[in-house]
């Protein structure tokens, strides 16, 4: 299973914020090979403020999103996208694109981790 994350996941983990222990568990699952963690390069390089302001524009700009581009190019069987910036992704068109690519969106890491672990158990 591919698990897509962006800058807010990286910051949550790095700054040891509220849900960082769930980030740690997701990273652990990737480190033991149970999932593939996909982190676009911009999520490590751009400042958080710039990503937040541009996230929706990037995502809806005709497939310009790194997450959408990766999903379209690779067509993984099962995926999910974790991004706590739900305001930018609370858009029916974006959700439809993700659903069409068999990628479930989670604006919170708690249910995301539950989803990932349940899928690993049934795989």
Contact present, 98 and 92 (Cβ < 8 Å)? no
Return the higher-pLDDT residue of 47 and 119: 119
- pTM of the predicted structure, to 2 decimals: 0.56
Contact present, 89 and 55 (Cβ < 8 Å)? yes
* pLDDT above 60: residue 55: no
Give the other-Cβ count within 10 Å of 33's Cβ. 7
pLDDT (average), residues 106-110: 88
Q: What is the pLDDT of residues 57-105, one digit of tens each?
A: 555 554 446 788 888 888 888 899 888 877 767 678 888 888 899 999 8
88, 97, 12: which is closest to 53 by C-alpha? 88
Q: What are the structure tokens assigned to 31, written together?
A: 């480190």
């Amino acid at each position: 299973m591919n698990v897509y994350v962006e800058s807010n996941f990286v910051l949550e983990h790095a700054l040891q914020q509220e849900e960082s222990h769930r980030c740690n568990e997701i990273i652990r699952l990737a480190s033991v090979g149970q999932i593939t963690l996909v982190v676009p390069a911009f999520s490590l390089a751009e400042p958080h403020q710039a990503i937040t302001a541009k996230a929706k524009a990037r995502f809806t700009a005709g497939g310009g999103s790194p997450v959408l581009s990766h999903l379209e190019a690779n067509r993984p069987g099962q995926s999910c996208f974790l991004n706590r910036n739900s305001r930018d992704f609370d858009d029916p068109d974006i959700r439809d694109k993700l659903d069409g690519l068999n990628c479930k969106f989670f604006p919170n890491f708690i249910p995301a981790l539950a989803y990932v672990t349940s899928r690993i158990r049934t795989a």
